[in-house]
C-alpha cells in the first residue's frame, strides 16, 4: 500500500506519542500497563519504519532522507 508523505508524518506522530506514554509509565509501579504501552510503541515504530522504506522505494529516493524529512516535519509542527 502506498503512503503519502503526510501519512508518514501522522504515523511518526503516533509512534512518538506512544513513546511518550512508555516514558511516562516507566517510573510507575504498573508492569502490565508499561508492557502494553511498550508493545503499542514497538508496533507503531515498526509500522512507520516499514512505511518509510516502502515510500522511499516507490519514490526511488534514499530511505534515510525520507526518514529525516518525516522526523523534521513532525518536530517542526510541535
pLDDT digits (tens, 9 = 90+) for 32-73: 999 999 999 999 999 999 999 999 999 999 999 999 999 999
The answer to whether the CB of 45 falls within 8 A of the CB of 33 is no
Q: What is the predicted pLDDT for the residue at 27?
A: 85
* C-alpha cell of residue 43: 508496533
Q: What is the predicted pLDDT for the residue at 76?
A: 84
Helix 5-25 to helix 31-59 angle, to the nearest 10 degrees?
Answer: 160
Across 11-17, average pLDDT: 97
Q: What is the predicted pLDDT for the residue at 4?
A: 93
Residue 1 reports pLDDT greater than 80? no
Q: Maximum Cα–Cα distance for the chain, whole Å?
A: 47
Q: What is the predicted pLDDT for the residue at 28?
A: 87
Amino acid at each position: 500500500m502506498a503512503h503519502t508523505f503526510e501519512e508518514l508524518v501522522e504515523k511518526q506522530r503516533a509512534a512518538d506519542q506512544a513513546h511518550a506514554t512508555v516514558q511516562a509509565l516507566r517510573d510507575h509501579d504498573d508492569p502490565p500497563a508499561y508492557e502494553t504501552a511498550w508493545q503499542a510503541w514497538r508496533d507503531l515504530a515498526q509500522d512507520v519504519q516499514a512505511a518509510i522504506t516502502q515510500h522511499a522505494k516507490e519514490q526511488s529516493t534514499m530511505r534515510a532522507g525520507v526518514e529525516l524529512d518525516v522526523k523534521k516535519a513532525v518536530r517542526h509542527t510541535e
